[in-house]
Structures are given as structure tokens and as C-alpha cells.
Structure 1
Amino acid sequence: MPRRLALTTVVSLAVLSAAAPGAMASDGPLPRPLLSLPVLQGVDGPTHPTHLTVVVSGSGDPAADGSYELECEPAGGSHPAARQACERLAQLPGESTDPFVPVSRDAMCTQQFGGPATARITGSWHGRSVDAAFDRTNGCEIGRWNSLRPVLPNVR
């Protein structure tokens, strides 16, 4: 009997440990960690190419609305705050969530409206393809937008 109990315990633990990584990868209410980003080899060592197109509308600020190109390393393009935006993007891999992943449908968000502003960011970030939509329709979306300032404009 003790042998059967021990065998059942070992098998149960093996099944649970094999299932746990799959459970963590689902779109549950917890934020998903950043995926491992590919590193490209440049002349002076590893590089992480970033080229993004940022399209903003409905911000209430005619100077903020429009389409901008953002290049990093070195910072440039038509983005009005390219250097600061690239500095913010450089901080993101050390944070716990991927800012370009949509808010989970299961997330509990405050029901507040942050205005009609919308944005779309496409291109590549650290060698990874990006195609993300942003709005300010609830607390989660407002927080997601604000986490990318100054890549996205300061909207009130």
C-alpha cells in the first residue's frame, strides 16, 4: 500500500509540473512575461533593431495626432520625442509584462473613460514584429497607454 501511494504521488506531481507551464501561458488575468527576444549580431556586437510606426488619432491635441516613424539606436525619425521614446522602449525588456500584448478579456478593469484617443503601433521592437492597438476605454487600457509614454502622447 505505501508503495502504491508513493507511486501515485510521484505520477501526480509529474503531471502537475508538466501542466503548470501551459497554464501560465494562457491569457489569464495575470500579466504574461516578456518572451525571449532575438538578438541580432551587429558589427560592434549584439543589436536590437527598433523601427516603429505610431499612428495617433482623437487625442484632442492636433500636434499629437498623426503618423510618426520612430527609429532607435540611434534615436530618430519623425516622432516628436524620439530620444525619450527610445529611452522608454529600452527600459521595457526589464519590466514584467509585454506592453504590446492586448489586455486579457478576463482582466478586471475600472470602468472609467480616458477619452476617445486611439493609437496603433506597428513595426519591429528588439527584432520582434509589433502590431498593437491602443485606446483609453477603461482603467486597464489607460494604464497600458500610460506605460508607453512618451512613445504614445500624454493625453488627458
Structure 2
Amino acid sequence: MRQSPSRLRPATLAIPGIVVAALALGGCKNGDGSATAAPSKGSETPTASAVPGTPAPTASPTAPAPTGSAAGTRLTVTVRASETSAPKTWTLTCDPVGGTLPKADQACAALAAAAAKGQDPFAPTPKGQMCTQIYGGPQTATVTGTWNGKKVDATFNRKNGCEIKRWGNLVALFGPVPSAR
């Protein structure tokens, strides 16, 4: 039996010291009031709106046009396990794949996939975006250079749910989360 939307309530999960409210469909409200639905397991991006009456998510108007290749990609990636730890720095080039980044082929594939979807993986979290207040750790990263011919100067951290997601989208650039010990 289906429940009517008016009877659906957000689920609440209590974690020692933290209470996290999960929205009915796992999505969040954007700064403009529209909903962003979380993709279901095994799904890359939703193809239609998960909430009746809400428009389906679209690519950012500032995202680069898909190019099908990573031509013009030359990046420097610096990752820190914590504010006081020594940085690890790698370089990455795509088409052809090269540089000092371990698993550079996976990183170039992740960047090419973002371009094919019309997404900018280096875009900051939009102002006004609601983010879960879950701390993911003290790790930080900076990425500078060019991606598909577009200038990149981006910073990443793990201070809330939105930033953890941004980090996860480019985990191939950062490698496993470094220990802050």
C-alpha cells in the first residue's frame, strides 16, 4: 500500500553526540528551494525528478561543454592529511595520461566522465546550499592548472556533507583519505 506524500516524514538517525535528519528521499534543498534527489544505489544521476512537481536536476550552466577527451588537462594536486602534516604533491596530464599521480588513468577517466555529463568537478559548493553538518576529517586538497583547457584553482576539504561529496567525486585525484595521525 502506498502512502500519500503528506504522510511521509523525514527519518531521524541518532548517533552518539549527533542527530542527523535524513530527508524522505535522501535529497536536500538547494538555495533556490528546488530539491536535489540523491541517486539510488547503482545509479549515476537521476534521469527524472524523484519528487513530483520538482524539476529534474540539470547540469550547471557554467560547466564546460563535454569534449569527449581530456585534451588540455594539466593539473597539480596537493593533499594534506591535516593542517600540520606535510603536503603530498602530484602532477597529472591527460591525453596522453601522464604525470606523477598514482592511478593517473583512473583520475583521467573520472575527469572525462564528468566532462561527458557536462559537470564541472572543480566547481565550489553553491552559496546557500544546505549541507549536512557531518565532519569527515581534517584532510584538505588543492588542485591548480587546466582541465579541458579551462583554468582550475580549487580547494577541497571534508568539513561537511557537501564538501565530503565533492571530495568523493574526485577521490581518484586525491587517493585514499590520508590518515591525520
* TM-score bucket of the superposed structures, by smaller chain: 0.5 to 0.7
Q: Is the 8 A contact 2:70 2:94 kept in 1?
A: no
Give the whole-Å Cα distance in 1 for the aligned partners of 2:153 and 2:167: 14
Q: Structure 1 or 2: larger helix share?
A: 1
Report the identity percentage. 43
1:58 Cα deviation (Å)?
Answer: 1.4
TM-score, structure 2 as length reference: 0.59
Q: Is the 8 A contact 1:28 1:104 kept in 2?
A: no
SS of match in other structure, 2:167: helix
2:73 to 50, 53, 65: 50
| Residue of structure 1 in register with 2:52 after alignment | none
| Residue of structure 2 in register with 1:10 after alignment | none
Q: Which runs of 4+ in 1 moved over 6 A?
A: none
Tell me the number of residue pairs that the alignment of Structure 1 and Structure 2 aligns.
122
1:96 Cα deviation (Å)?
Answer: 5.2
| Residue of structure 1 in register with 2:10 after alignment | none
Higher mean C-alpha deviation, range 108-117 or range 88-97: 88-97
Superposition map of 1:7-156 within 5 A: 28=32, 32-37=60-65, 48-58=71-81, 65-95=87-117, 97-155=119-177
Q: Is the 8 A contact 1:70 1:79 kept in 2?
A: yes
SS of match in other structure, 2:142: strand
Larger radius of gyration: 1
> Gaps spanning 5+ residues in structure 1: where?
1-26, 40-45
TM-score, structure 1 as length reference: 0.67
SS of match in other structure, 2:172: coil
SS of match in other structure, 1:151: helix
Give the whole-Å Cα distance in 2 for the aligned partners of 1:90 and 1:84: 10
SS of match in other structure, 1:89: helix
Task: Output one character per residue of 1:38-97: Cα deviation in whole Å (capped at 9) or x when no partner.
Answer: 97xxxxxx87210000000016xx8x9501000111111111111111111111112353
1:34 Cα deviation (Å)?
Answer: 4.6
Give the whole-Å Cα distance in 2 for the aligned partners of 1:154 and 1:101: 21
Give the whole-Å Cα distance in 1 for the aligned partners of 2:166 and 2:115: 15
1:28 Cα deviation (Å)?
Answer: 5.0
> Gaps spanning 5+ residues in structure 2: where?
1-30, 35-58
